[in-house]
Chain A
Amino acid sequence: MNIFRFLGDLSHLASIFILIHKIQTTRSCRGISFKTQAVYVAVFVTRYLDLFTTFVSVYNTSMKIFFIASSCYILYLMKVRFRPTNDPSIDTFRVEYLVGPCAVLALIFNYGYSVTEVLWSLSIFLESVAILPQLFMLQRTGEAETITTHYLAALGAYRALYIPNWIYRYFSEGYVDPISVTAGLVQTGLYLDFFYVYFTKVLQGQKFELPA
């Protein structure tokens, strides 16, 4: 564990708490893509199958359980508790265009031909593009509640912080995980436009609005 990875994990935790807080205080999941949230459940479930076979640390196990549980809880909030505030008509990104190619990539690039390894690989690729339905929705509506942008910023910062972690691990342990690194760079790249608007507008106290 190094400071970058720890801060990345904290940022990931923070993003989930911000999202739950947003939904509960506004009593609405307006502006949140259900498709993105559903993909996250798939990502966590497929990646953390090793929960039953491998023990790394109490930290590692607790975080895995938290990510699975909280992502399922968010789906519950969106589909049951605050269902009327969820508008599927603006959440139109075709998720099959993400899952299909990611499944093919996982079959080609993995660390071993076993069900768990291929699913692990799938989860890494899927995570890298999971935010697309959300960003697509943002682009369509052209604006976002400030709290939603804080959620997205924390979520984007999480994988971005893993990049210095991988550089650090390469030099300190000789550890390289090419699948995670490649996907992580793509994932962070997808946030660049968002980060630009977030830093130049939201953090200057303005509303998140995209130019027409």
Chain B
Amino acid sequence: ETAEGKKDEL
């Protein structure tokens, strides 16, 4: 799983 489409960090 990469960060694509899953940006939950600030």
Chain A contact residues, CB within 8 Å of chain B: 5, 9, 12, 50, 54, 56-57, 60, 63-64, 67, 111-112, 120, 162, 173-180
Q: Is the CB of B3 within 8 A of A180?
A: yes
Q: A111-B3, A111-B4, A177-B2 are in contact. Are A12 and B10 (CB under 8 A)?
A: yes
* CB-CB contacts below 8 Å: B1-10 with A: 1-10
Q: Is the CB of B4 within 8 A of A67?
A: no
Shortest A182–chain B CB gap in Å is 12
Q: Is the CB of A174 within 8 A of B1?
A: yes
Q: Is the interface of B mostly helix, strand, loop or mixed?
A: loop
Chain B contact residues, CB within 8 Å of chain A: 1-10
Q: Within 8 Å CB of A111, what residues of B?
A: 2-5
Inter-chain contact total with CB atoms closer than 8 Å: 37
Q: Is the CB of B9 within 8 A of A180?
A: yes
- Cα distance A111–B3 when bound, in Å? 8
Shortest B4–chain A CB gap in Å is 4
Q: Is the CB of B10 within 8 A of A64?
A: yes
- Cα distance A112–B5 when bound, in Å? 9
- Cα distance A111–B2 when bound, in Å? 9
Q: Is the CB of A5 within 8 A of B4?
A: no
Q: Within 8 Å CB of B2, what residues of A?
A: 111, 175-178
- Cα distance A56–B5 when bound, in Å? 12
Knowing that A175-B6, A180-B9 are A-B contacts, what are 14 other residue pairs whose CB atoms are under 8 Å apart, sorted by A's residue number? A9-B10, A12-B10, A50-B7, A56-B7, A56-B8, A60-B8, A111-B3, A111-B4, A111-B5, A120-B7, A177-B2, A177-B3, A178-B2, A179-B3
20 A-B residue pairs with Cβ-Cβ distance under 8 Å, sorted by A, are: A12-B10, A54-B7, A56-B7, A56-B8, A60-B8, A63-B10, A64-B10, A111-B3, A111-B4, A111-B5, A112-B4, A120-B7, A162-B9, A173-B1, A174-B1, A175-B6, A176-B1, A177-B3, A178-B2, A178-B3
Q: Within 8 Å CB of B8, what residues of A?
A: 56-57, 60
Q: Is the CB of B7 within 8 A of A176?
A: no
Q: Is the CB of A175 within 8 A of B7?
A: no
